[in-house]
Structure 1
């Protein structure tokens, strides 16, 4: 019996003046790893958000990524061994 998809939100606080650099590094380094997880079926979806307006009342994050995992088992399964093989 397959479980329901699980959404996990990761909040980032990027240092002032480094937002563009962070986005570039995220796209270059982290996104390909996440995309590979989509190809294996472990992750179903990746969504990213950034506030549109400065001073929207929340200052504890300025970049958010939401990963939708296939189920709890996929979330709990470590892929370190698979990554090490590459």
Structure 2
């Protein structure tokens, strides 16, 4: 493995370990088929434009490539229209529908290998990417992930 790949992998692992939300559990997710995960971000006041610029530059292209490869079936971004008072305030929600549970939470599996390969292809300068992603994560006050499932009205 080239040194650049090792550097990128270590940088991404360091970033993900330092800023990751608690692990997502698929305990209540469907046993087979698509898994939907909502990623909530509360961004430091006044830093939303910078957060979105870095997200769109560095993370969104990886998600789009993973969608092209079939690991992800849908990506949706939403921001609240009104300010929320009290409770769990969030500034942006990214909903991703993964093709299966392994794609959603399979740490160290084939999805992670594919994502690393995409990242290396899109961002050959892993050090620059790691620095920009560290900056993006420094703008986050709080981040949490929620696996959701449909609820029948019956």
Same fold, judged at TM 0.5 (above): yes
Q: In terms of Rg, which structure is larger?
A: 2
Gaps spanning 5+ residues in structure 1: where?
A: none
The alignment partner of 1:17 has SS state of coil
Number of aligned positions between the proteins = 84
Q: Report the counterpart of residue 38 of structure 1 in structure 2.
A: 67
Query: Which residue, out of 29, 46, 66, partners 2:95?
Result: 66
Gaps spanning 5+ residues in structure 2: where?
A: 1-31, 122-154
Partners of 1:8 and 1:34 in 2: how far apart? 13
Q: Report the counterpart of residue 22 of structure 1 in structure 2.
A: 51
Q: Is the 8 A contact 2:62 2:119 kept in 1?
A: no
> Whose helix fraction is larger, Structure 1's or Structure 2's?
2
Q: Report the counterpart of residue 117 of structure 2 in structure 1.
A: 82
Q: Report the counterpart of residue 79 of structure 2 in structure 1.
A: 50
Q: Is the 8 A contact 2:77 2:94 kept in 1?
A: yes
CA root-mean-square deviation: 1.9
